[in-house]
Amino acid sequence: MARWEPGARERIVMAAVDLFTEQGYDDTTVAQIAERAGITKSTFFRHFPDKRELLAAGQETLSRLLADGIAEAPADATPLGAVAAGLERASREMGPVNRELGPRIAAAVAASTELQERAMLKNIGLSAAMTDALVGRGVPDPVAHLAAEMGVLAFKRGFAAWSEGDHGAGDELAPYTLAALEELRASSAALG
């Protein structure tokens, strides 16, 4: 096993998703993930505290990108306009690997109560990051919370449509997340 081989974090995530898909989350051990990734268990634990955290890899980065996009939106942007800027910023960072892993991760999460709970916590974290960024722009708290929740839902829906759709060259995530946000905005009018 190569101890300091580059790309260990990415290999760990890919190995774990492969194993979760093949044999299920509960039946996959850290030792199996490390072996499949070509690393030692201690290298695994340098990157992740446990196997549950594998599927949350990148959450901090995603939260930061969403918040940065909101903060950098034009001063006259509406709350949902600022959320759209956050979605665009985060979407630009998603590439083919994210698209390939999306359905496989969704299947692993759907098959595990523990991972479903972790996914809910991830959504709360994303919403909190966007809410804080909106409040930082002067958006009143209830409006900021609602806009952030719509942003999380738009990201989830857009990402699912993007990752499950035809994989054409140059097909980027942003149009999917922005279309999902617009659909949610239009749908909110029906709430009365």
pLDDT digits (tens, 9 = 90+) for 98-112: 888 888 888 888 888
Query: Other C-beta atoms within 10 Å of 17: how many?
Result: 20
**Architecture of 58-191 per CATH?**
Orthogonal Bundle (1.10)
Residue 5: the pLDDT is: 53
Angle, helices 113-136 vs 141-164, to 10°: value is 130
C-alpha separations of 16 from 10, 32, 42, 50, 119 in Å: 10, 8, 16, 11, 16
Half-sphere exposure of 95 (CA within 13 A, CB side): 2
> For the chain, what is the largest distance between any 2 Cα atoms, rounded to a whole number of angstroms?
61
User: Tens of pLDDT along 110-131?
Assistant: 888 888 888 888 899 999 999 9
The CATH architecture one would assign to domain 8-54 is: Orthogonal Bundle (1.10)
User: Residue ranges of the domains in the chain?
Assistant: 8-54, 58-191
Q: Is the pLDDT of residue 1 over 50?
A: no
User: pLDDT for 11-44, tens place per residue?
Assistant: 898 899 889 888 888 899 999 999 999 999 999 9
Is the pLDDT at 138 greater than 60? The verdict is yes
CA dihedral sign of residues 128, 72, 78, 158 = negative
Find which of 29-38, 57-66, 163-172 is predicted with most confidence, using mean pLDDT. Answer: 29-38
